Chain A
């Protein structure tokens, strides 16, 4: 644990230049102790701010400077990791290195250690916007005010955030990469006494967030969802909006397409077999112009575009260096920083858009339900990917292509694999939306019309 230090010392990792210096110094400290050691360093710095509102006023409003340094060392195959959030001064870096060496000293040889990434070019991706990096608390507050005003007197709640980070990677093999990233996101609801309506918007640029339009959309949805009534549970067609699709694909990829799940026999995926609907194509593509994030992962592996699913056929598995080595292939650039039970996560997922607007998807339902959000989804069985959860922020019964009435939230218990099986996707929307999350990865996904969804309970249980 550290003691306070005098002002003016080498501290915050700051911008990219200082961060590179911190990374280089850590590698130097490692070399000084063990010239033959393998090591990799990630330095992430920047600012993160979030303005939160409820009952139509700002109740939580936060900002933090970020300064994260992560180190992983391998000493003759003995591997350990340490990290710090705080001042990256000489004392702290020395403790960081010493902690890693102490831990490595008691570790058995890691027979599956894949080594560090060899030098390799990183794609030129720069999802950055200066104005977003400089967004002020007043800017965010004005955005909130616009959302509140546009909701036309309905109670509102939500969050408007901006983040700007610089990330530097360096390892003992000479691989070096740096990148920067901004993200702005608005996620908010308008409320009637009996319903909520949601609107979301994410972009690399804060200026792209139209808070007024979002407020109008949320209020419109809330009003149309007001005074819902019960619907008998059962199997229904559904049109699920982009946040539901992101939820569905998140589970599908982490439980099915993660290298470790495949290695351990827990995955449903069989590469090359038509397991999913032929309308479905899923790609990892950080260079997509509407995507956010970095072009390399915390192991320094470049993130290049590739198909995970092409026309319903699984084509690739997500790998970090460890699972890739075990599978006899190469990393896909999906490693995660720090201790992580999943091993990998999708970083920049793109589902190809379809040809129908959301309204047209709804018109395509004979008797089904339009769902805004899924909520509290949990896996009941990881192999079949049976998931239970609830609807949230609005669900509407559709008959003969027309919205008939709003319905109360429903519980579902549904195999996500089965939901996307061949013949189950009846339409894909044109409404590709970015859902950006620093930890869970970014998703650029449209609405889907699915042939069957198993609702197992209503609000009464």
Chain B
């Protein structure tokens, strides 16, 4: 598979020679580009490239990880030896015995699908797109109009001491924009397609499909309209309909992170937090209503959390997380799964060659229901519709959340009424999901990409996907204020 594969092999061999009983390594070559515009003018073009090797070594039950930005055979071997030395140091404060969950070693290749290579799109075309939409938003009253496109390309060569040898080529891209208006004492903002934009393991065709120019004027107009809209009322219990973009965030925060097995096991207790879920209740705990079926599926074509193999060499496969409201699965890697007595979940990834692979979301989301958004509104006598995430806060057990949206609408007598500004809602996860009584159908269903999921020490940024559709929740507390 070439010289980078050889580097990974050299790192693994060196770790084994230094005493490791298992080792794996990723040689990576990646590049990224971000283009941003502001108020009709290009703001920045930034391109970054990263090359290096990261190697893990297991001695006893203790791990060590070392990374070098030097892609030479000598440096790869030094990194392997260093990983083993670090594992030996870890053994000074060792954990219980560990046998990795078995994964048959794979020799293979995988590449994401890309119809239009984002690197082949001329920079001046990207600049013109972003300058045009931000100019349009300014023309429609935005105080600050921002837009961005992002492109990532990663090639990685994985080797393990068990014989795995995998090459992957993943291209991701996407973009988004926002209009902010400043009023007396507060600001309002509208984003499109969502607060984080829209991203996938796809080519530039994704950026063309989201059609930023067709939505620029609309979101600026909506942001201005929000300034004079009435406040979302403070109500202890009302019917709440969430749009698809907000549902993606809701799933990410209150389901995706909660079912990460490293959190459940306490491995993130001091930083990202733990989980309210107890493994003893796996398979019988009621997480939500019978409408709630959630999978973690890294095989979804074009989704931002898709890949061929995770960073432990486990082939991508769908994992049931919640089935008809019952909690049945977790996101795991080979070590966490072994501790829990589960099969390897194939959900371990690293943010670059210099970061240790850890449990990350793949594409965690809802299977569709049976209703349209219009049907949900028509079935609601008195409620509020909210969409597009604006703020998100959830406790360290992923149980108690308070989310704010950019925009809301009053619902009266089955009809969408006046705009509402500063809509927020708060709840407790199983109670919230238990109150879901209507869920969007296949036509409403969409896979959202989240390119900025933070986790780990040192910090890592993960790319995750979230299939979602609008849904209705009964008896929710809304309009919490400071």
A-side interface residues toward B, CB under 8 Å? 1-9, 11-12, 48, 50-67, 79-87, 92, 95-96, 99-100, 102-104, 106-108, 110-111, 136-138, 140-142, 144-145, 148, 155, 157-159, 161, 187-189, 191, 196, 198, 264-266, 338-339, 375-384, 386-390, 392, 409, 411, 413-415, 418, 439, 454, 456-457, 459-461
Contact = CB atoms under 8 A, between A and B. Distances in A.
A196 to B, nearest CB: 7
Interface in B35-50: 36, 41-42, 44-50
B70 A375 contact: no
Contacts of B457: 50, 52, 60, 159, 161
Interface string B48-92: 111110100000001111111111111100000010011111101
A67 to B, nearest CB: 4
Given A107-B45, A376-B393, A383 B182 contact: yes
B38 to A, nearest CB: 10
Interface of B: 3-4, 6-7, 27, 29-31, 34, 36, 41-42, 44-52, 54, 62-75, 82, 85-90, 92-96, 122-124, 127, 131, 143-144, 153, 155, 180, 182, 185-187, 265-271, 273, 352, 354-356, 358, 390-396, 399-400, 402, 404, 422, 424, 426-428, 431, 457-459, 477, 480-482
Given A83-B46, A106-B127, 13 more contacts: A4-B3, A8-B72, A12-B70, A50-B458, A59-B63, A62-B67, A64-B68, A67-B70, A108-B41, A380-B424, A390-B393, A390-B396, A459-B400
A92 B67 CA distance: 19
A159 B50 CA distance: 26
Nearest to A112: B41
A61 B87 contact: yes
Nearest to A156: B270
Contacts of B273: 375
A88 to B, nearest CB: 9
Given A2-B29, A145-B93, A411 B86 contact: no
A404 B182 CA distance: 45
Given A103-B47, A108-B127, A61 B65 contact: yes
B387 to A, nearest CB: 16
A63 B24 CA distance: 16
A82 B49 CA distance: 8
B86 A12 contact: no
B31, B70, B180: which has the most chain A beta carbons within 10 Å? B70
Q: Chain B interface secondary structure, helix, strand, loop or mixed?
A: mixed
Contact of B90 (A58, A82, A375): A58
Given A48-B458, A375-B396, A380-B422, A157 B85 contact: no
Given A388-B391, A413-B481, A64 B71 contact: no
B458 to A, nearest CB: 6
A392 B90 CA distance: 28
A51 to B, nearest CB: 7
A382 B189 CA distance: 11
A79 B45 CA distance: 8
B334 to A, nearest CB: 13
Nearest to A392: B396
B65 A188 contact: no
B71 to A, nearest CB: 5
Contacts of A92: 49, 51
Contacts of A87: 51, 69-72
A315 to B, nearest CB: 23
